[in-house]
A and B are shown apart, each in its own frame.
Chain A
Amino acid sequence: MPTRFSAFVLSVAYACGASHAAEAIPNDEFDHIRAQIAPQEGESRHLDDVPWVATLWEARQKAAADGKPIFVFATGYHPLGVC
Chain B
Amino acid sequence: MGGGNRSGFFKNPENAALITNHCVPVAIDTYRAGRATDAEAEFGERVSENATNNFTLVTADGKVLGSCLRESLASLLEKWNALPAEQRQPGAIKVPELRGRDARWAWADPPAGSIVLKVFARNLKRDGDAHLVRGDYLYPKSWPSKDAYRDSLWITRSEWQALVPKNPQSGDVVNVPDTLRQRVFRFCLNERFRTYDRPWKPDELRGGKISVTVNEVSKTRVRLRFDGFASIASDADTRMATNGYDGSLLGWLEYDRDKQQFTRFDVLALGESWWNEPSSDPAFAELFAKNFGRITVGVSFQLAPPGSGFARIPPGSHFAWSKRKDYLGKSPEE
- Chain A residues close to B by CB (< 8 Å): 2-4, 6-7, 10, 14, 19-25, 27, 29-30, 32-34, 36-83
Contacts and interface: CB of A to CB of B under 8 A. Distances in A.
A48 B260 CA distance: 26
Given A14-B227, A37-B300, A45-B11, 10 more contacts: A42-B11, A46-B12, A54-B313, A57-B39, A57-B101, A71-B19, A71-B23, A71-B24, A75-B29, A83-B139
B107 interface: yes
B213 A74 contact: no
Given A47-B16, A65-B90, A56 B40 contact: yes
Contacts of B289: none
B53 A7 contact: no
Contacts of A78: 29, 150-151, 197, 313, 315-317, 319
Contacts of A36: 122, 124, 132-134, 298
Contacts of A44: 6-7, 9-11, 147
A69 B58 contact: yes
A77 to B, nearest CB: 6
Given A51-B20, A79-B313, A80-B27, A69 B197 contact: no
Given A33-B268, A34-B266, A37-B298, A83 B53 contact: yes
A74 B51 CA distance: 7
B310 interface: yes
Contacts of A58: 26
Contacts of A53: 24-26, 309, 312
Given A56-B28, A79-B27, A23 B248 contact: yes
B29 A10 contact: no
B132 A33 contact: yes
Contacts of B174: 2
A29 B132 contact: yes
B312 A54 contact: yes
17 contacts: A4-B169, A10-B173, A20-B248, A30-B250, A33-B132, A37-B299, A54-B314, A55-B40, A56-B40, A61-B60, A69-B58, A70-B47, A73-B6, A74-B28, A75-B29, A77-B31, A80-B152
Interface residues of B, number: 119
Interface in B288-334: 298-300, 308-310, 312-317, 319
Contacts of B177: none
Interface in B233-278: 246-250, 252, 266, 268, 270-272
B26 A56 contact: yes
B172 A69 contact: no
B279 interface: no
Contact of B11 (A43, A55, A76): A43
B316 A80 contact: yes
Contacts of B309: 48-53
Contact of A55 (B107, B120, B169, B252): B107
Nearest to A13: B209
Contact of B43 (A3, A6, A56, A76): A56
Nearest to A52: B309
Interface in B191-218: 192, 196-197, 207, 211, 213-214
A11 to B, nearest CB: 9
Contacts of A60: 43, 60, 95
Contacts of B182: none
Given A43-B7, A70-B57, A78-B197, A22 B120 contact: no
A31 to B, nearest CB: 9
Contacts of B22: 68-69
Nearest to A65: B90
